[in-house]
Amino acid sequence: MMKRIIYTSLFVLLVSVIIGYLVILVRPLSLQEEDLEQMDEEEEVVQLTFWRNYGNAAENKAYNEILEDFHQAHPNIHVTMQNVEYVNYEVKLRTELVTGIGPDIMAIDSPYLALYADAGILMPLNDFLTEADGIEDDFSSAIMEGLTYKDQLYLMPLIESSLALYYNMNLLEDAGLPFPEGDPDQPLTWDEVVELLKAGQRPEEEIYGIDPAQGFGSGEAPAYFKLPIIWQFGGEVVSPDVTTASGYLDSEETIEALQFYQDLYHKDKVAVRELPASAFENNQLMMTILGTWAITDLEEQGLKLGEDFGIAPLPKADYQVVPNGSWALGMLSSTSHPEEAWEFIRYVTSYGAMKKYSSITGEVPARYSVAEDLPKFNTYPYNIFAEQAYSYSKNRPVTPAYPDISIAIKQLFEDIGLANQDVETAVEEAVETINQRLSEVD
C-alpha cells in the first residue's frame, strides 16, 4: 500500500514536470502565432505607388519629409514614391499607363490634365471632396479652373507658378538707369522696358538687353513663357470653348503681340537669338524672365538679391497677365485603393503639408491661407509671385489637344523670332495646324 502511494506520488510529480516543460515549450509557439497574426495585420497595410518628377534639392527634401509625416499619421497606408527625371517623366508615365501598370497616384503638369482625363486615365475627385477641403474659399478660381475638365476636378494643387522680371542691378546702375519698382500691382509696361534696354545695353561690349521668354528651348517651357505676351495684348490662342484658333490666334490683338515680340529681336534689337552662357549671372544681360526657383539658383552661384539682382512684376501691355499651372496630384482611375489614394492626395495638399513644402522650397502655395500665414509671401520679393499668381494669372487652354497646341506655339515663336518670318504668314500656318488637331477632339 505504501509503495502504491509512493509510485502514485512520483507519477504525479513526473506528470507535473512534463506539463511544466510543455508549457515552457509551447509558450514560444504561442508567441510565434501572435507574431504571425501581427504579420498578417501588417500584410493588410495598403500599398500605393506615387510618381513625381524629380525636382531640385529643396523640392525633394520637402516631399521626403511630407511622405515621412504621412506614414506616421497613417500607419495602415504605405506610399512608395518614385522620382523620375523631368526630361523622361512624360514619356515614362504615358508608356506605363498605356500598358496598364501606371502608379496609383501621379504628379501631372496641369496643362496636360485634359489629355489624361479624356483618355479615362484619371479619376474625378469631386465625389471625394468635402467642404473642409476649402476648394471654394482657399484656392484661386483661375487655378482650379485649370485643373478641371468637363466640370470635373481631376487634380489637386500643391503650389502655383508665376513669372517675374529679374534685373541686373550692376548693369542698370552703371548705365545710370532706375531700378524697376517691386510693387506687384504696378509693373512696367513693355514699352518702358524697351526704352530702358535701349539706353543701357552695349552689344558691342557683349552687354545685352533682355531674354524676354527664356530663349528658344524645348518641352513646355516655350508655351509657358511666351503665351503671356499674347494675353497681355488682349489676344488669345483659341476660342473660349476650345474648338477653333480662327479669329483668335489670327486676331488683331494677337498679331500685335507677336509683332512686338519679333521687334524685340529684329527691329528694336534689345534681344538676341543666341546669348552667352550664364549671361545674366556674368553681368552680360540686363534683364530676364524667371520664376521663384531662380532666386535660390542665383544665390547659389554667388549673386545676392538686393545687391546684384532685383525682381519686379512681369511687364504688361494692355493687361497684366502671368501664366499659372504647375505640377498637381491626381489618381489612376483603375487604382484598387481610391479611398487611400485620395487620403494621400488630401494630406499632401492640406494646409499643414503645403505650409511645410512652401517653407522649404519658396514655391507659391496654392492655398491663400498658407500664403497669409507665411511671412515670406507677404514681403518682397515673394509677394510679387504670390500676388500675381492669385490675382493676375491665366490658364493655358484646357483640352486634350493641348500638347499639339503647345508644339504649334513653340514653332510659331521660332518662326517669327529665330527665322524672322512674316508674322501673318506664320500665324496662318499655326492656325491651320491647331484647327486640324482641334477637329479631331470630340
Q: In this structure, are residues 232 and 212 in contact, taking their beta carbons and an 8 Å threshold?
A: no
Percentage of the residues of the chain whose pLDDT score is greater than 70: 90
Instruction: Flag whether pLDDT at 278 surpasses 90.
Output: yes
Q: What is the pLDDT of residue 226?
A: 98
Nearby residues of 348 by Cβ (< 8 Å), 6 or more positions away: 66, 70, 156, 158, 329, 354
Packing angle, helices 221-232 and 402-417, rounded to 10? 70
Q: What is the pLDDT of residue 28?
A: 42
Instruction: Flag whether pLDDT at 85 surpasses 60.
Output: yes
Instruction: Flag whether pLDDT at 59 surpasses 80.
Output: yes
Cβ–Cβ contacts within 10 Å for residue 418, how many?
13
H or E segment at 366? none
Minimum mean pLDDT range among 84-98, 191-205, 284-298: 84-98
Q: Dump pLDDT digits (tens) for 377-404.
A: 999 999 999 999 999 999 999 999 999 9
The band of 26, judged by pLDDT with boundaries at 50, 70 and 90, is very low
Residue 48's beta-bridge partner residues? 79
Instruction: Flag whether pLDDT at 233 surpasses 80.
Output: yes
Cα→Cα distances 410→58, 220, 222, 404, Å: 30, 8, 5, 10
Q: What is the pLDDT of residue 42?
A: 53
The band of 33, judged by pLDDT with boundaries at 50, 70 and 90, is very low
CATH class of 164-322+398-438: alpha beta
Q: In the numeric block, which cell numbers belong to residue 29? A: 509557439
Q: What is the pLDDT of residue 43?
A: 60
The dihedral built from the CA positions of residue 149, 152, 158 and 164, taken in this order, carries a sign that is positive
What are the residue ranges spanned by the domains of the chain? Answer: 46-161+325-394, 164-322+398-438
Q: What is the pLDDT of residue 366?
A: 98
Q: What is the pTM of this model?
A: 0.88
**Fold of the domain spanning 46-161+325-394:** D-Maltodextrin-Binding Protein; domain 2 (3.40.190)
* Three-state secondary-structure class, residue 100: coil
Q: What is the pLDDT of residue 36?
A: 38
- Within this chain, domains 46-161+325-394 and 164-322+398-438 share the same CATH topology: yes
Q: Dump pLDDT digits (tens) for 112-147.
A: 999 999 999 999 999 999 999 999 999 999 999 999
The band of 148, judged by pLDDT with boundaries at 50, 70 and 90, is very high
Q: What is the pLDDT of residue 411?
A: 98
Mean pLDDT of 57-76: 97
Q: Dump pLDDT digits (tens) for 326-353.
A: 999 999 999 999 999 999 999 999 999 9
Q: Dump pLDDT digits (tens) for 239-268.
A: 999 999 999 999 999 999 999 999 999 999
